[in-house]
Amino acid sequence: MKKLALFTAILVICGLTFASAIAQNKPAKAPYKIGAVIDVTGSASGLGEPEKQTLLMLTDELNAKGGINGHKIEMIIYDNESDPTKAVTKAKKLVSEDKVIAVIGATQSGTTMPIVDIISEAKIPLVSVAASWKIVTNPETKQTRPWVFKTAQSDSLAVSKIYEYLNKNNISKVALITVSNGFGDSGRGELQRLAPSFKITIVADERFGEQDADMTAQLTKIKGTDAQVVICWCIQKGAALVAKNFKDLGMPQKLIMSHGIANQNFLDLAGAAANGIILPAGRLIVAEQLPLTDLQRKGLLDYKSKFEAKFSPAKVSTFGGHAYDAFKILTNALKKAGPEPEKLRAEIEKTKNYAGCGGIFNMSAADHEGLTKDAFVMVQIKDGKWELIN
Amino acid sequence: MKRDWSLWAGLAVLIFLLPLFVKSPYYFSVLIFIAIYGMIVLGLTMLMGYAGQISLGHAAFFGLGAYFSSILTLYLHLNPWLAMAAGLVGTIVIAFLLGIPTLKLHGHYLAMATLGLGIVLQIIFKEEVKLTGGPTGLTGIPYLKAFGISFSNDRAYYLLCWIFMLVLLGLSINLVHSRTGRALRAISQNQVAAGTLGISVNWLKLMVFALSAGYASIAGSLYAHYLAFVNPSPFGFMVSVKLVAMVVIGGSASLWGALLGTALLVSLPEFLTRLQDYEMVIYGAILILVMVFAPRGLTGIAAKIFDLLRGRTRGENAQAA
Amino acid sequence: MEWHSQLIQYLATGITTGAIYALVALGFTIIYNSTEIINFAQGEFVMLGGMIAASLLAMAGMPMWAAIMLAIALATLLGVIFEQLAIRPVKNPSVMNLIIITIGGSILLKGAAMIIWGKDDRPLRSFSSSQPLHIFGAAVTPQSLWVMAGTLVAVILLHFFYEYTITGKALRACAYNKKAARLCGISVERMVLFSFALSAAIGALAGILIAPITFTSYDVGTMLGLKGFCAAIFGGLGSNPGAVLGGLVIGALESLSAGYISSGYKDAVAFLIMLLVLYFRPTGILGKRSEKV
């Protein structure tokens, strides 16, 4: 009998201690769960990795300040391995298991397209970091998808900026060399589509594979045409190889590339061959050279110093910038409207004059991208550095 | 044979009862992918395990089915079921034609030829932009509809896919236990000897090859209508390798091995989300370990366990197969 | 550009790439000859050569030649480990087993490389200057010449090895008839180990030679391995001269077809050639006719 009494007493004391411990550790407010489906590994890993790092960095920063109205942010990031199948399962997991209030992603247009309908049907906002216009606009009905937004500039804007520059410099004959993947294809499509309206003639249209190690054959063909500039739509290794081959062959034309090369990795790979390349770019890479009156300058320098301090030796890249904008636009709206999906969606749509990494965003019901071609500036590479062209 | 049919019946019951306990669209979607990949792996198991022919390019047939369905429903506005049937016929014909010169090869040469075919087909998917949408792919593929139900929600699609799987499984069980099945087994043991027994070796090999391509085509059509989006990336060499891995890990000598291997390799990454970066290393390690320590795969291990439990020796079991 | 300059340009590029395919193909052939195994992981040794060299060079004060030697040595060691852990333990391997094991090995090595070195592409310094030379109107970089020279030296050394050294002759004996070789006192197991080591070394050399031209990253091995295999089949599995011929021919044809036909289908060329050879002359151009296919 005594033993039983002692045992019960101990049990009760444990129970009370436990209960009071729980009561003390109970969080003040439930966290806001935000999901992200990113191509962290696989073919787009060079883009996805900085996106993931940026999201983690910003989440920590926001939580250190106490979160949003006292609610901490719980960022759940899944890797879709650059695979559309996995993007689908991870998106469904975020929606039905993790019950997130919004989703950021995916890195590429190819991995975003399959999840657009899934997230829309779940009626929570999706902020994509991929570029294709088909993400925010249904290509058949031409209607804007109400639940989907994106922060990466469309290819059409980059191409318009390039063609505008060419017009200014009286250049009208171009040769294209593009990579056979979603990015290159989309660029090629826009280059062809917009050429007539800017009075540009395309005299050559070469392509190469993602894994190709040598593009001299294609460039040699172009050398034999009367093109005045060569426009290359590719990123990372492929673009660096084109730059090197271009220089080795002694091509007489100027080389213009896409905004996708606006990162340190390209400069490291291309080395001296990058000299003289012209590209449209978001203001992030030339942040220091922007006039003090530029609205984006302060935010860009802030992101740059924080990112490079935390993830050194990595440098900022446009891709991380897209994730930065997605996070900021989402959390800004969250702060104003709260987590209820329809209110959150409507608030994102009201984003006005947000000076981010990719440009100054002005969204509306019809425009879920919010950028114009002035999101870009023309930049030239000189001695391994980015130089703003005025 | 009885065992196979009772397992089949058990599976069917499980499939239909599951929705009473599982509600989450996430779990349904994993199960849907297990069914889709499982169909391809089933066909591949018949080809590799029963007929003894290796294919390192089967993802291409998966792609053919997906693209046939997508192109016919998007551009010609064909009824999706008709498109699936047309895709099935188309893929089987293509596989048949490609198989004629290919299946004359053996061993490594056959493996490399199928690998080459798979890669060339994927390059065609990427390059013929006007037809296939190229790397950007095709969007807006319509959902399947039947009896007024639109198969756009996961639970309905799960049932649809697994019904297809049960049908294909039944077909396979029938085939394996028939004279043709025994003839196939003879071919995988020793082609020359089989030929002397009067088995038309070339014709049978072609038939199984084309049949397995057909299974992959159906899976491809179901995939396209599920994602409503198709591009070349899921139809490459690495996917063909993963399919072979599923056959081998499950156990190439058993149809049930196909399901086990697929279920394991499709669901494993979902459990190992913490170890996302290590997935490739784990995959490679599993392949090597299974081949070194358990060459007959999971079903081989299961069979050994059963033997131990029943106190049978190895020799007896071999004859019973 | 004059048509003859264009042609020479295509050929120069083609032969450079072809030399690398030749080295990779040689790696396949060496292992196949002594073991009848197709080592699908061959491409990964090419990758490892380049990656290890790039890492070593990044270390302060490491001279180029030391990095190259060390990288080849380390890759060879890995080749030995691979053979011991993955190939040796398998009892009575069937063709399918071996294919899966080597594929598993290739995936494992690739995954490990990704974890160790990350996902970025890495540049490697050219051996000498990067100023291109102009030969008959075509631009040829000095590194391309290094590639061709390196391949030539490797092929010649290999020839001497097989013809005039005991080990080389032992390897050839194993290729002709394993049982008879064993009866002559040759340790077949040691020959197998040796061929994996040799093959890894050649692969690593190829990777180091090409990295300054094409950069290196954890996933360069796959395509190089596959195309090298196409070259080996073209030349005839088991024939060293065939492997070299196959590599050069495929490299040249790839470049020419990209220039004159279609650049998008360039990657398909190697595989289409392989398929044609497999369908019409499976033993390859220089392969032994009697070989069972």
Question: What pLDDT is stored for residue A144 in this prediction?
Answer: 92
**Do A164 and A99 reside in the same domain of the chain?**
no
Q: What is the pLDDT of residues A2-16, one digit of tens each?
A: 656 665 666 666 556
Question: What pLDDT is stored for residue A6 in this prediction?
Answer: 61
- Helix (H) or strand (E) segment spanning residue A52: helix A45-64
Question: What pLDDT is stored for residue C288 in this prediction?
Answer: 65
Task: Give CA–CA dist C43/C40, Å, rounded.
Answer: 7
More confident residue, B299 or A174: A174
State yes or no: cis peptide before A106, omega within 30 of 0.
yes
| pLDDT over threshold 50, residue A384 | yes
Here the CATH number for the domain that contains residue A360 is 3.40.50.2300
Ordered DSSP codes for chain C: --HHHHHHHHHHHHHHHHHHHHHHHHHHHHHHHHH----TTHHHHHHHHHHHHHHHHHSTT--HHHHHHHHHHHHHHHHHHHIIIIITT-SS--HHHHHHHHHHHHHHHHHHHHHHH-SS-B----SS--PPEEETTEEE-HHHHHHHHHHHHHHHHHHHHHHHSHHHHHHHHHHH-HHHHHHTT--HHHHHHHHHHHHHHHHHHHHHHHHHHH-B-TTSHHHHHHHHHHHHHHH-TT-HHHHHHHHHHHHHHHHHHHHHT-STTHHHHHHHHHHHHHHH-TT-SSS-TT---
Maximum CA pair distance of chain B?
63
Nearest to B139 among A81, A139, A186 (CB): A139
Question: What pLDDT is stored for residue A21 in this prediction?
Answer: 46
Domain ranges of chain B: 26-234
Nearest to A88 among B227, B277, B279 (CB): B227
What is the dihedral sign for C-alpha A345, A347, A350, A355?
A: negative
**Do A380 and A325 reside in the same domain of the chain?**
no
Question: What pLDDT is stored for residue B85 in this prediction?
Answer: 95
Is A17 within the bounds of a domain? Answer: no
Nearest to B244 among C100, C115, C268 (CB): C100
8 A C-beta contact, residue B191 and residue B201: yes
Q: What is the domain count for chain A?
A: 2
Task: Give CA–CA dist B173/C285, Å, rounded.
Answer: 43
* Dihedral over alpha carbons A255, B135, B279, A34 (to 10 degrees): 90
State how far the alpha carbon of B22 is from the alpha carbons of A98, B16, B259, C249, in Å. Answer: 16, 11, 20, 58
Residue numbers in B near C226 (CB within 8 A): 115, 119, 237
Question: What pLDDT is stored for residue A16 in this prediction?
Answer: 60
Alpha helices in A138-225 (DSSP H): 155-168, 182-194, 216-223
Question: What pLDDT is stored for residue B321 in this prediction?
Answer: 45
Contact C278 B113 (CB under 8 A): yes
**Do A127 and A160 reside in the same domain of the chain?**
no
Question: What pLDDT is stored for residue B187 in this prediction?
Answer: 81
Q: Which domain holds residue A258?
A: 156-289+376-388
Contact B228 A117 (CB under 8 A): yes
* Cα of A188 to nearest chain C Cα, Å: 13
Q: Does domain C3-280 have CATH number 1.10.3470?
A: yes
Question: What pLDDT is stored for residue C272 in this prediction?
Answer: 94
Domain ranges of chain C: 3-280
Nearest to A78 among B227, B228, B273 (CB): B273
More confident residue, B274 or A100: A100
**Do A166 and A273 reside in the same domain of the chain?**
yes
**pLDDT band, very low/low/confident/very high, at A324 (cuts 50, 70, 90):** very high
Q: Which residue of B has its CA nearest to C273?
A: B116
Task: Give CA–CA dist A112/A108, Å, rounded.
Answer: 6
Residue numbers in C near B282 (CB within 8 A): 111
10 Å Cβ neighbour count for A99?
11
Task: Give CA–CA dist C208/C55, Å, rounded.
Answer: 12
Task: Give CA–CA dist C277/C246, Å, rounded.
Answer: 11
**Do A271 and A302 reside in the same domain of the chain?**
no
More confident residue, C181 or A175: A175
Q: What is the pLDDT of residues A309-318, one digit of tens each?
A: 998 878 888 8
The one-character DSSP state at A144 is B
Place of tokens 């070339």: B202
Residue numbers in A near B276 (CB within 8 A): 40-41, 78-79, 81
Top mean-pLDDT range of A210-219, A289-298, B65-74, B271-280: B65-74
- The contact set of B with A (CB < 8 A) is 24-26, 29-30, 33, 123, 126-127, 129, 134-137, 139-140, 154, 226-229, 231, 233-234, 269-270, 273, 276-277, 279-280
Contact B281 C115 (CB under 8 A): yes
Contact C95 B284 (CB under 8 A): no
Which chains have at least 3 CB atom pairs separated by less than 8 Å from chain B? A, C
Instruction: For residue B218, give the amino acid letter.
Output: I
Contact B26 A96 (CB under 8 A): yes
**Do A262 and A383 reside in the same domain of the chain?**
yes
8 A C-beta contact, residue A136 and residue A145: yes
Q: What is the pLDDT of residues C127-179, one digit of tens each?
A: 887 788 888 878 888 888 999 999 999 999 998 998 899 888 888 888 778 78
Q: Print the SS3 string covering C211-272.
A: HHHHCECCCCHHHHHHHHHHHHHHHCCCCHHHHHHHHHHHHHHHHHHHHHCCCCCHHHHHHH
**Do A240 and A363 reside in the same domain of the chain?**
no
Q: What is the mean pLDDT of residues A115-123?
A: 89
Q: Which residue of B has its CA nearest to C83?
A: B288
8 A C-beta contact, residue A294 and residue A283: yes
- β-strand partners of A77: A36
Ordered DSSP codes for A323-337: HHHHHHHHHHHHHHH
8 A C-beta contact, residue A360 and residue A294: no
> Residues in chain C with pLDDT < 50?
none
The one-character DSSP state at A140 is T
Mean pLDDT (chain A) is 88
8 A C-beta contact, residue B217 and residue B210: no
Tokens of B65: 């089915």
**Do A161 and A126 reside in the same domain of the chain?**
no
Tokens of C49: 């050569």
Q: What is the mean pLDDT of residues A177-185?
A: 87
Question: What pLDDT is stored for residue A10 in this prediction?
Answer: 61
* pLDDT digit string (tens) for chain B, length 321 residues: 788 899 899 999 999 999 888 888 888 989 999 999 999 999 999 999 888 888 999 999 999 999 999 999 999 988 989 999 999 999 999 999 999 999 988 888 898 899 999 999 999 998 898 889 888 888 888 888 777 667 778 888 999 999 999 999 999 999 989 888 888 888 877 878 888 887 788 888 899 999 999 999 999 999 999 988 898 989 988 899 899 989 988 988 889 999 999 999 998 888 777 677 788 888 888 888 888 888 888 888 888 888 888 876 555 445 444
In which region does residue A73 sit, left (phi positive, over 0), alpha (psi from -120 to 50) or beta (all else)? beta
| pLDDT over threshold 90, residue A196 | yes
Task: Give CA–CA dist A349/A342, Å, rounded.
Answer: 11
